Chain A
Amino acid sequence: MANVDVVVAADVLVAALSRVSPQTVAFPRMPPKTASAAADVIGTFVAPQDSFSLILSEEILDETATALVQTRGALGWDFERADEAITVLCDLADESHGGLVVPQATLHTPLAGKPATTALRTAASDDLGHPRVAVVVTNDPNALELPSWRPSGIGWRSEAIMIMGPAKFRDTVERTRRRLRLT
């Protein structure tokens, strides 16, 4: 049975790696809300729930690694630490029954024909099968203008991809878990 496929954009992954969040890693307790919504997003996959799969692509990880290691006007992570961070994210994806997929090459959104972001193209990947419930977690204002998106021209056979910020995703996960406990 298919889980919720969650594509996390590079800006959210970088934020999740930039804030100590002891609650997130207080294993195996279900992560509560913390002051960092991005860390909570990653915490979703650490908890042994098996309901949410972290979906990544080389392109998202390339963006994440670039943002981590750049020194000029940025964070300037050591190469080894950035390498370990990318490995941990991949391990987390695998353990959540997600993993690395190949994004769609080129897609456009209805927003004045703007090209779809890397995270959106990853969520539309052929590798994820159908039907799927897919969500993109991002802070990209252009992507967030679309609360949902149905890719066109690729034989899409699922509900529209949901697009939400980290805080909304975290809140929706909480409500989902509450519903599942009640049923």
Chain B
Amino acid sequence: MRKSQTVGFSIAPEDQDRLARLTDVFGGGNRSAFLRQALDVMERLDIAQRLGRLQAYGEERLAAADYREEDIPKLVGTVLENPDPEAIARAKLIVAGLRERPRLRRDDEPLGEAALAFSEAAEARD
């Protein structure tokens, strides 16, 4: 049964050529395929912007605690060796919020080109 639905968009006359060109380039002429790609790109843009805001906050916290970035591995190790009960409880609460997320479960599948290239690149270094 077909699950996708048709939705309407309005395109200004001056954008129609641009839409047709980008649809050809990224969707092989198929507007639905182009829209799927555009959604992926915008999803990543949203993540990048949220990550940037969190990094700004994280940098403030690092400075306020009088640490430097290179101190973090030791800092994390020390915290995890002897975490405060309150930190444990808060972390558990945060992770509990992930229970609804679907888990990744891959079937066996062949390796992609990048996976093979990465192995070669890692070996070349050593």
Q: Restricting to B42-65, which residues have a CB under 8 Å from any CB of A?
A: 43-45, 47-52, 54-59, 61-62, 64-65
Instruction: From known contacts A46-B47, A86-B94, A102-B103, infer whether A175 and B78 are also in contact, taking CB-CB under 8 Å.
Output: no
On chain B, which size bracket covers the interface? 35 or more
Q: Which residues of A contact B111 (CB under 8 A)?
A: 1-2, 131-133
Could you tell me if B122 and A172 are in contact, using CB atoms closer than 8 angstroms? yes
Residue contact B120 to A70, C-beta cutoff 8 Å: no
- A15's partner among B69, B101, B122 (CB-CB below 8 A) is B69
Map CB proximity to B onto A116-146 as digits: 1 under 8 Å, 0 otherwise. 0000000000011111110100011000000
Interface centre among B67, B75, B94 (most CB of A within 10 A): B94
Tell me the complex Cα distance, A145–B96, Å: 33
18 contacting pairs across A/B (C-beta < 8 A)? A15-B69, A15-B73, A46-B44, A51-B118, A65-B95, A69-B91, A74-B87, A84-B50, A85-B54, A86-B98, A88-B47, A88-B54, A95-B43, A100-B101, A128-B104, A135-B118, A176-B117, A183-B113
A28 at the A/B interface (Cβ < 8 Å)? yes
Please determine whether B121 and A175 come into contact, CB atoms closer than 8 angstroms: yes
In the complex, the answer to whether A99 meets B108 with C-beta atoms within 8 Å is no
Evaluate whether A70 and B87 lie within 8 angstroms (CB atoms) in the complex, with A11-B72, A48-B41 already known.
yes
Task: Using known A-B contacts A1-B110, A27-B44, A66-B87, determine if residue A162 contacts B95 with beta carbons closer than 8 Å.
Answer: no
B residues 76-122 near A (Cβ < 8 Å) are 76-80, 83-84, 86-88, 90-95, 97-98, 101-122
Please name the residue on chain A nearest to B121 by beta carbon: A175
The yes or no answer to B11 lying at the interface (CB within 8 A) is: no
A147 vs B85: C-alpha distance when bound (angstroms): 34
- Give Cα A16 to B59, complex, Å: 10
Complex Cα distance, B98 from A73, in Å, reads: 27
Given A42-B51, A51-B112, residue A79 in contact with residue B90 (CB < 8 A): yes
Which residues of the other chain, B, contact A131 by a CB distance below 8 angstroms?
108, 110-111
Q: Decide yes or no whether B7 CB sits under 8 A from chain A.
A: no
A residues sitting closer than 8 Å to B (CB atoms) are 1-4, 10-11, 14-22, 24-25, 27-28, 36, 38-39, 42, 46, 48-49, 51-52, 55, 58, 61-63, 65-67, 69-77, 79, 81-88, 90-92, 95, 98-102, 127-133, 135, 139-140, 147, 159, 162, 164, 168, 171-173, 175-176, 179-180, 183
B2 within 8 A of partner (CB) = no
Q: Which one of B50, B112, B122 has the greatest number of beta carbons of chain A within 10 Å? A: B122
CA distance A139 to B72 in the complex (A): 10
